[in-house]
Amino acid sequence: MSERKQISSVSLRTQSEADSITQAADDIAMMIQQARQEETSKSQVLIQRAQWEAAQLRAEGVRTKEKLTKEIEVLKAQLAAAKSAQLPAK
């Protein structure tokens, strides 16, 4: 009978160890899932920031193009005026 008690306590201990291992595995799986979610969140923030910065650069590019277009028009007008001033009178 003592052998049976011994076997019974071994299986209980083994079951307890198995439960501990299962719990540890579940905890590790949960930590991995949380880490993945955090990385996904960080990635989403970085993507949103990059999109915002791209929009800002596009807007700045449009403003720069408009400014340069106006400057070119002024220079063309000045060039035309300078050319007409250089033409000999007929």
Condensed to tens digits (0 to 9), the pLDDT of residues 39-63 reads 999 999 999 999 999 999 999 999 9
* Helix, strand, coil % over all residues of the chain, rounded to 5: 95, 0, 5
Q: Is the pTM of this model over 0.75?
A: no
Helix then strand count (H, E) for the chain reads 1, 0
At 58, the amino acid letter reads: R
Q: Quote the distance between the C-alpha of residue 75 and its chain's center.
A: 43
The HSE-up count of residue 27 (CA atoms within 13 Å, CB side) is 6
pLDDT at 89: 60
